[in-house]
Amino acid sequence: MSKGKVLVMGSNATRIEIQGGGTGPTGQYLNETVVPMLALVGAGYEVLLATPSGAKPYIDPASDAVQHFGGDEAAYQRGKDFFANDPSTNTGRTLRSVIEEGLDKYAGVFAPGGQGPVVDLMQDPDAGEILRHFHAAGKPTALLCHGPIVSISAMPRASEFRAALIQGDRVKAAELAKGWQYAGYRMTVYSASEEKPIEENILHGKLYFNMPETLDLAGAKTTVGPDFEPHVVVDRELITGQNPRSDHPMAAKLIEALDRASLAP
Domain with residue 42: its CATH number is 3.40.50.880
**Residues 19-32: what's their mean pLDDT?**
96
Instruction: Reply yes or no on whether the pLDDT at 166 is more than 80.
Output: yes
Is residue 205 packed enough to be buried (19+ CB in 10 Å), middle (13-18) or exposed (0-12)? middle
Q: Into how many domains does the chain fold?
A: 1
pLDDT for the residue numbered 39: 98
pLDDT confidence tier of residue 169, bands split at 50, 70 and 90:
very high
Report yes or no: 111 and 117 within 8 Å, Cβ to Cβ: yes
**Residues 21-32: what's their mean pLDDT?**
96
pLDDT for the residue numbered 263: 84
pLDDT for the residue numbered 37: 98
Instruction: Reply yes or no on whether the pLDDT at 1 is more than 90.
Output: no
**Residues 214-237: what's their mean pLDDT?**
98
Residue type present at position 179: G
**Residues 238-259: what's their mean pLDDT?**
98
pLDDT tens digits for range 32-88: 999 999 999 999 999 999 999 999 999 999 999 999 999 999 999 999 999 999 999
pLDDT for the residue numbered 30: 98
pLDDT tens digits for range 102-123: 999 999 999 999 999 999 999 9
Instruction: Reply yes or no on whether the pLDDT at 264 is more than 90.
Output: no
pLDDT confidence tier of residue 223, bands split at 50, 70 and 90:
very high
C-alpha distances (whole Å) from 193 to each of 184, 199, 214, 218, 225 are: 24, 10, 15, 20, 11
pLDDT for the residue numbered 262: 87
- What is the rounded distance in angstroms from the CA atom of residue 16 to the CA atom of residue 21? 10
Is residue 99 packed enough to be buried (19+ CB in 10 Å), middle (13-18) or exposed (0-12)? middle
- What is the rounded distance in angstroms from the CA atom of residue 75 to the CA atom of residue 17? 33
DSSP annotation of 201 reads I
Report yes or no: 139 and 107 within 8 Å, Cβ to Cβ: yes
Please report, rounded to a whole number, the percentage of residues in the chain having pLDDT higher than 90. 98
Full residue range of the structural domain in which residue 99 is found: 5-263
- What is the rounded distance in angstroms from the CA atom of residue 176 to the CA atom of residue 171? 9
- What is the rounded distance in angstroms from the CA atom of residue 56 to the CA atom of residue 255? 24
Is residue 29 packed enough to be buried (19+ CB in 10 Å), middle (13-18) or exposed (0-12)? buried
